[in-house]
Structure 1
């Protein structure tokens, strides 16, 4: 065989090899040359060891990060025949993305990892954060905890027997393909809904994530696992308590706005304008306690700024992001490790699958609920707000 024929055969083999790589996705190298200096010049290596830069990057103190990493290290560690990305890198990248938001390609460039790898790491880490910490920090409170919450609401916001403020927050997203008007909300944007309950100290005690933006808050509550327990009387709420300085027995209740139905366990303001003075006083006192959930949403968005702008991702991926931010918020308000000993057998206030809420007749208020609201109104009017240390 002549030399020219040998050369042609070699060239043909090389061309066939490249075609095989393109067709079957075989990679010539595991890490692209531009990303191979990650350990020396990537964002993680240049900022992780410095206290000030560390806090600015993830908006979290180092001890909290270390505690968080110890809880999820085993789940986010990867084992392979080639060097894998360490768990602290994965958590640091995820928290940086949640803390500031922005373009995924930017984080891919800054941390010197592939774009698909960056998306996979953030998604997996958010899932692990929710699966491990959600049942601990967001399980439904027990009876003694409900009583503590009621005491806090009266001491801080002068509202007796209140065990939580409830409201919904629209998390803006870009319109998903072929979704029609499911995600289109009354504000004229596309969103999924975060429905949450919080205590008097702005700490979330339960959440529901993933409902369509077109649904009402009352419908979302009805279709959530927490709402079904609440409506069916199967939630471990305290027995009726005596209103202060009276002999009136009154049930424990949540407070919400006019989007929720009036129930014996759910107080809402009197509707309408030009109300009598006593009803105006009641509405103001109720709103004074209800605003804690609005403040909790504001604190959440300011801490995890990815929520300040529309999320350019699928609704399922956006749900992962929101779950992780809520869990982080709960950790920051309960830093003591003893909280981890809390009973994890409760039912979380969460919907796993996006579902369309049905209209339900039970959203109508009962005569008993109207009477209870009037009783509470008369008590609040006769007991003005008192100055107490916050």
Structure 2
């Protein structure tokens, strides 16, 4: 009887024993050892396709690889070889460039989607750490004046320190978040708020604000707004517009999603009569504000992950978006700039016909959604806008632009 009982216990134990894994790696992934990502990238470089694959040339790729190699590199073990730094960086850049699913990327790089889901956030964090210097707010009045001089030279808009705008980036509904990230357009999102200079470079970004927050509240809750309020932004002292005597503050140009205040300038509301001061001012402001529109357009056109619904939690999504912004500024300052965004990608003006020439990014479907309009006005803001309107209709009038008015 006892013998039968022991046999039964042994039989049950055998049933519960975990089945031995038949293989360590799927057969379809074993090809990674025969044809590595390094070989694939070399072939793309020879064929001239690397810039389309990862949005930069081989020299910039190698530079980034050397910067983050020590941060993301893993050791080989006696059981298997680790995924190389080259593969980790390449799969991350390809993900940002296309927004492809982890599974489809796995078919290209011969990696499991579980491994890629670990690699992408890790590499993004490393890139953010080594490239953080590529986004810096001016810290002295002289640095701000350099930005203002560029706006006056390139966009005929004096006393301008930058162009501000915000966009909703679509995300998957976070777990147990309720309607916290549900925006006025009817989808879940986080907000990307940015200030851009005259050269389409990002000076400041604030990422991750919940989509449900009113768009006036998005800007009101930023550190940048607090610095404006407590005068710690080192903005230059008020200066009169060229040919005029009344001093006016240096301003940031915005759209209707932002309040009209001392340092925030937005167009006049509603339709305006042709050749009126209001119409001329609104056109000139909108022309200067194209810098941020074009920066967002190029960003989403080249890093197409921003056109998808990002399937990550809000914190990882914010990290990913910051990586795209930093890479944008990084590439804009390298020899790949013309490859990344040729001149035809940006808006232009036809001074003969008096029409705007749309940049190539406008011809492609955009996923970034603008912020909701805000009606907040201040008396100071109205007076400052009036002074700019007077200037653009008199001393600062552009003959060639009169076709637009």
Please classify the TM superposition score into its range, dividing by the shorter chain length: 0.7 to 0.9
Alignment pair present for 1:123 and 2:136: no
Q: Quote the offset at 1:313 in angstroms.
A: 2.8
Deviating more after overlay: 303-312 vs 152-161: 303-312
Contact 1:40 1:46 in 2 (8 A): no
C-alpha distance in structure 1 between counterparts of 2:254 and 2:10, whole Å: 76
| 1:197-221: CA deviation from partner (whole Å, max 9, x where unpaired) | 0001111111011111222333111
Within the candidate set 391, 399, 405, 1:379 is matched to 391
Where do 5+ consecutive residues of structure 1 fail to align?
A: 1-6, 22-26, 337-362
C-alpha distance in structure 2 between counterparts of 1:206 and 1:306, whole Å: 21
What is the match of residue 315 of structure 2? 316
Contact 1:243 1:249 in 2 (8 A): yes
C-alpha distance in structure 2 between counterparts of 1:249 and 1:70, whole Å: 50
What is the match of residue 333 of structure 1? 332
Q: Secondary structure at the match of 1:36?
A: helix
Cα distance, 1:294–1:100 mapped onto 2, change above 3 Å: same
What is the match of residue 158 of structure 2? 160
Deviating more after overlay: 277-286 vs 197-206: 277-286
Cα distance, 1:250–1:90 mapped onto 2, change above 3 Å: same
Within the candidate set 173, 185, 188, 1:175 is matched to 173
Contact 1:130 1:324 in 2 (8 A): yes
C-alpha distance in structure 2 between counterparts of 1:242 and 1:112, whole Å: 62
Cα distance, 1:149–1:387 mapped onto 2, change above 3 Å: farther
Q: Quote the offset at 1:43 in angstroms.
A: 5.0
What is the match of residue 73 of structure 2? 77
C-alpha distance in structure 1 between counterparts of 2:158 and 2:51, whole Å: 39
Within the candidate set 31, 37, 47, 1:37 is matched to 31
Cα distance, 1:386–1:123 mapped onto 2, change above 3 Å: farther
Contact 2:147 2:161 in 1 (8 A): yes
| 1:34-92: CA deviation from partner (whole Å, max 9, x where unpaired) | 32221323555333443124223212111111222222221111235343211111111
Deviating more after overlay: 175-184 vs 89-98: 175-184
Q: Secondary structure at the match of 2:34?
A: helix
Within the candidate set 44, 60, 63, 2:59 is matched to 63
Q: Quote the offset at 1:106 in angstroms.
A: 1.0
Within the candidate set 86, 93, 96, 2:94 is matched to 96
* TM-score for both structures, normalised by structure 2: 0.79
C-alpha distance in structure 1 between counterparts of 2:180 and 2:13, whole Å: 54
C-alpha distance in structure 1 between counterparts of 2:331 and 2:14, whole Å: 57
Q: Quote the offset at 1:368 in angstroms.
A: 2.2
* TM-score for both structures, normalised by structure 1: 0.82
C-alpha distance in structure 2 between counterparts of 1:160 and 1:110, whole Å: 50
Q: Quote the offset at 1:317 in angstroms.
A: 2.5
Cα distance, 1:329–1:249 mapped onto 2, change above 3 Å: same
Q: Quote the offset at 1:16 in angstroms.
A: 5.2
Q: Quote the offset at 1:293 in angstroms.
A: 0.5
Where do 5+ consecutive residues of structure 2 fail to align?
A: 1-6, 336-374
Alignment of 1:1-390 (within 5 A): 17-18=17-18, 30-51=24-45, 52-82=48-78, 83-134=81-132, 136-143=133-140, 144-274=142-272, 277-335=276-334, 364-382=376-394, 383-385=396-398
Q: Quote the offset at 1:386 in angstroms.
A: 6.1
Q: Quote the offset at 1:161 in angstroms.
A: 0.6
C-alpha distance in structure 2 between counterparts of 1:275 and 1:314, whole Å: 48
| 1:310-366: CA deviation from partner (whole Å, max 9, x where unpaired) | 223322232222111111101011228xxxxxxxxxxxxxxxxxxxxxxxxxx9543
Q: Quote the offset at 1:249 in angstroms.
A: 2.0
C-alpha distance in structure 1 between counterparts of 2:376 and 2:296, whole Å: 28
Q: Quote the offset at 1:165 in angstroms.
A: 0.2
Cα distance, 1:318–1:182 mapped onto 2, change above 3 Å: same
What is the match of residue 359 of structure 1? none
C-alpha distance in structure 2 between counterparts of 1:36 and 1:46, whole Å: 15
Q: Secondary structure at the match of 1:169?
A: strand
| 1:10-49: CA deviation from partner (whole Å, max 9, x where unpaired) | 9988755426x7xxxxx77654443222132355533344
Cα distance, 1:251–1:78 mapped onto 2, change above 3 Å: same
C-alpha distance in structure 1 between counterparts of 2:100 and 2:16, whole Å: 41
Alpha-carbon RMSD = 2.7
